[in-house]
Amino acid sequence: MYKLVKIANDISWIGVNDFEKERFENYIPIPNGVSYNSYYIDDEKTCIIDTVDANTTSTFVQKLKEILNGRQLDYVVINHVEPDHSNGLHEVLKYYPAVKIIGNNKSLGMLKAFDSNFPVENFIAVKEGDEIDLGKHKLTFAMIPMVHWPESMVTYDKEDKILFSNDAFGGFGGVYGGIFDDEVDLSFYKSEMRKYYSNIIGKFGAQVVNAIKKLSKLEIKYICPAHGILWRKDIGKIISIYERWAKFEPETKGVVIIYGSMYGNTAKMAEIIGLQLRECGITDIRIYDSSKTDPADVISRIWKYKGLIIGSCAHNFAVYPKIVPILHKLENYGIKNKYFGIFGNMMWSGGGVKDLKEFAAKLPGLELVAEPVEAQGAPKEADIEKLKQIAIKMAEKLNADKISD
């Protein structure tokens, strides 16, 4: 028997932790796992909110069967069709073929696209503000397009004032043990949530701001996302953190330095900048070797800090290959609200610094704090002075800023 995790009187968490998957969406490393949260509402009509990904479906269905204890499942709400939440539907339908599937017109198209045998006759399309009556619990629905896909929606339980928010407010990290924000090491989960936000939702900041505006009209006692821990202690705070991320607003004055270096000279340049930042009173500094740290972890840290400095050696007349995925993602996001610096190295052609300058020119939200520096081979005295200027100018900007937690 699985232990029930009660959220409220008639509502339980029946999610599953996934510690087997190496990479989320097959590219983001998740060493701390991820949970697929599903919720069961025990009422005159039975209902689950969202399902789980394919590799955890058998555990999920086992939990569902235990909690239903012979009852029929009347409804399954699909807040979001991405397979990490909808893959379990196939298995649910095997055991409960008459279950009504609640989604919206956009989600129906996607469900049919994923599965040509999708039972359309089971589907109920809801619109903004529609209500489904389970008995005591009345569920309403709000559309939050692009948080994270066009069909994304949230479900709100009027009885217990619970927002089932799907990807919104979700994070990586399994939820064994504590499940609520007041039962866990919050700094760990905040970092996992930032990693999820910055890598999965980050492009859609404007849509997140719109969604928050709409949802803030609801009285919310619990936010129950489809990944990670659940929120009940300080709902206002978590909403304001999320809004800050959506607006690309940094949390601290820190600086991320990310470099690509083949023979150590660009790495040396990064270290010179880091030491000078320290001299200028900056304490939160992270220096990453792009060949060692996964871009997803770098992106997450970039979200946290106001300062960003990228360095690259030249490789085939261009930027170093391991820097490319980071530039691609930042450009795709339209990253903004950053103080920015560029440095790099060359021997016979150049190209790294040139590409970084072109990258910066495409993103008006990156404020170049000092002239880019390109050394030939080992950085010389003149290069070192210019590298220090990047750090000094960056620190001047940061120290003049008012950024608070």
Could you list the residues that contact ligand FEO (CB under 6 A)? 80, 82, 84-85, 148, 167, 226-227
CB atoms within 10 A of CB 364: 9
> With respect to ligand FEO, which residue has the nearer C-beta, 79 or 265?
79
> With respect to ligand FEO, which residue has the nearer C-beta, 36 or 305?
36
Work out how close the CB of 161 gets to ligand FEO at its nearest, in angstroms, rounded to a whole number: 23
> With respect to ligand FEO, which residue has the nearer C-beta, 207 or 266?
207
> With respect to ligand FEO, which residue has the nearer C-beta, 12 or 86?
86
Work out how close the CB of 288 gets to ligand FEO at its nearest, in angstroms, rounded to a whole number: 26
Work out how close the CB of 149 gets to ligand FEO at its nearest, in angstroms, rounded to a whole number: 6
Work out how close the CB of 23 gets to ligand FEO at its nearest, in angstroms, rounded to a whole number: 14
Q: Which residues, other chains included, contact 328 with Cβ-Cβ below 8 Å and sequence gap of 6+?
A: none
CB 81 within 8 Å of CB 88: no
Work out how close the CB of 384 gets to ligand FEO at its nearest, in angstroms, rounded to a whole number: 46
CB 254 within 8 Å of CB 306: yes
> With respect to ligand FEO, which residue has the nearer C-beta, 102 or 226?
226
Work out how close the CB of 58 gets to ligand FEO at its nearest, in angstroms, rounded to a whole number: 20
Work out how close the CB of 146 gets to ligand FEO at its nearest, in angstroms, rounded to a whole number: 10
Work out how close the CB of 122 gets to ligand FEO at its nearest, in angstroms, rounded to a whole number: 22
Work out how close the CB of 84 gets to ligand FEO at its nearest, in angstroms, rounded to a whole number: 4
Helices 205-215 & 235-246 angle (0-180, nearest 10): 150
Residue 97 in tokens:
């073929």
Output the CA torsion sign for 65, 66, 67, 72: positive
> With respect to ligand FEO, which residue has the nearer C-beta, 50 or 374?
50
Work out how close the CB of 227 gets to ligand FEO at its nearest, in angstroms, rounded to a whole number: 6
DSSP lists the bridge partners of residue 305 as 252
What is the distance, to the nearest Å, from the Cα of residue 153 to the centroid of all Cα atoms in its chain?
Answer: 17
> With respect to ligand FEO, which residue has the nearer C-beta, 10 or 84?
84
Query: What is the three-state SS of the chain?
Result: CCCCEEEECCEEECCEEECCCCEECCCEECCCCEEECCEEECCCCCEEECCCCHHHHHHHHHHHHHHHCCCCCCEEECCCCCHHHHCCHHHHHHHCCCCEEEECHHHHHHHHHHCCCCCHHHEEECCCCCEEECCCCEEEEEECCCCCCCCCEEEEECCCCEEEEECCCCCCCCCCCCCEHHHCCHHHHHHHHHHHHHHHHHHHHHHHHHHHHHHCCCCCCEEEECCCCEECCCHHHHHHHHHHHHCCCCCEEEEEEEEECCCCHHHHHHHHHHHHHHHCCCCCEEEEECCCCCHHHHHHHHHHEEEEEEEEEEECCEECCCCHHHHHHHHHHCCCCEEEEEEEEECCCCCHHHHHHHHHHCCCCEEECCCCEEEECCCCHHHHHHHHHHHHHHHHHHHHCCCCC
Work out how close the CB of 200 gets to ligand FEO at its nearest, in angstroms, rounded to a whole number: 6
> With respect to ligand FEO, which residue has the nearer C-beta, 82 or 383?
82
